[in-house]
Amino acid sequence: MCHRRLPAILVVSLLALGLVGPAQADPTPQLIEVFKRSMLSWSIDYDTLRPNRAGAACIPWDSLDEAFLDEGIFEALGYAWQVAGEPVAARAAMEGCERMRRGNQLGKTCTCELLLYNDDVRLVLPEAAE
């Protein structure tokens, strides 16, 4: 699996906003919180779903800011639970996110990313623009 890096503008923005320090420019924990908050807005508690669960969200990488991380919700989500294993759960979550992204006509304002499988983080951060 390749490791991707945060876009340079996002790193600079997160540092400037004081969201993270130079040694900790990883918004993953906050993005997981936004995902769970977004699920709760649909009256779904991800943490209580049965095992073999996965969650995906359409992340607006270019417009992430402190306000979004503190209070925002994702406009497109996908999830699965109680399925045959990680590949099936991940595919179902990603397909659900993509359907919701298209249904909400979000275009390229966000990118569907797999965030979790059970309680394990699966988010791969995007590469920085060269």
Residues of the chain with pLDDT below 50 are 1-16, 18, 20-24, 129-130
The neighbouring-strand residues paired with 80 are: 54
pLDDT at 12: 44
Question: Residue 37: how many CB atoms within 10 A of its CB?
Answer: 15
For residue 127, the model assigns a pLDDT of 76
**Residue 128, pLDDT score:** 57
DSSP 27: -
Spell out the long-range contacts of 61-64 with Cβ–Cβ below 8 A and sequence spacing 24 or more: 61/7, 61/10, 61/110, 61/111, 61/126, 62/7, 62/9, 62/10, 62/109, 63/109, 64/10, 64/13, 64/14, 64/27
Query: Which pLDDT does position 126 carry in this prediction?
Result: 84
pLDDT given for residue 21 in this prediction = 47
